[in-house]
Amino acid sequence: NAGVTQTPKFQVLKTGQSMTLQCAQDMNHEYMSWYRQDPGMGLRLIHYSVGAGITDQGEVPNGYNVSRSTTEDFPLRLLSAAPSQTSVYFCASRRPVTGELFFGEGSRLTVL
């Protein structure tokens, strides 16, 4: 049971570089989301998707793009990385009805 898989686990970027965090789930969940976790601030919702082709903004969407071409995949793109985007990123999918979120193991991103 893979659940939610994120790659890479660690990444170091220079300011201005771009990159994509990958997220895949094998539970056939329609809903997927991206959070960032920062000390003292908990998890903040970046973007979410309620199904293939449908995405929407969360609490802190600026500087991030998402797309959802398939049910399984929900990549998060940083077009021009900034030091303020140094964080741990978590992808999650949601079980219908119960609303339980299933999280990936996280991706630690450092922007220099």
Chain residues binding other proteins by CB under 8 A are: 31, 33, 35, 40-45, 48, 50, 56, 58-59, 90, 94, 98-101, 103-106
* 16 vs 96, beta carbon nearer other proteins: 96
CB of 80 to other proteins, least distance (A): 26
Q: Is 86 helix (H, G, I), strand (E, B) or coil?
A: coil
CB of 43 to other proteins, least distance (A): 4
Which residues touch 36 (CB under 8 Å, ≥6 apart)? Answer: 43, 44, 46, 60, 85, 87, 88, 89, 90
Q: Are 36 and 55 in contact (CB under 8 A)?
A: no
CB of 24 to other proteins, least distance (A): 15
CB of 45 to other proteins, least distance (A): 6
**What is the β-pairing status of strands 10-13 and 107-111?**
parallel
* 28 vs 98, beta carbon nearer other proteins: 98
